[in-house]
Structure 1
Amino acid sequence: MRNLLDFLSRHNHWFVFLLLEVVSLTLLFKYNSYQGSVWFSSANAIAGKMYEWDSSVKQYFALTEVNRQLTDRNIYLEREVEMLREQVKKSNNDTTLVERLQQNIMRDYETIPAKVVSSSLDKANNFITIDKGSADGVRKDMGVVCGQGIVGIVYLCNEHYSVVIPVLNEQSNISCTIRGRGYFGYLRWHGGSPETAYVEDIPRHAHFRLGDFIVTSGYSSVFPPGIIVGRIKHVYNSENGLSYRLNIALSTDFSRLRDVSVINDREMDKKLELLRAAEDSIKHANKHTEETNEPELP
Structure 2
Amino acid sequence: MTTSTAPAFEELLDRRARQIEERLRELLADKSRDGEITRPATLLAAMRHGVLNGGKRLRPFLVLESAALFGRDGSAALTVAAALECVHCYSLIHDDLPAMDDDDLRRGQPTVHRAFDEASAILAGDSLLTLAFDILAETSSFPSRDAGPSALRQLELVRGLARAAGVGGMAGGQALDLAAEKKTPDEAGIITLQAMKTGALIRFACEAGAIVADAGSADRERLSEFGSAIGLAFQLADDLLDITATPEIVGKATGKDAAAGKATLVALHGEDWARKQLSGLVEQAHDLLAPYGDSGGTLKSVATFIAERKH
TM-score (normalised: structure 1) = 0.26
**Greater per-residue helix proportion:** 2
Q: Which has the higher contact order (CA 8 A, sep 6+)?
A: 2
**Structure exhibiting the larger radius of gyration computed from Cα positions:** 1
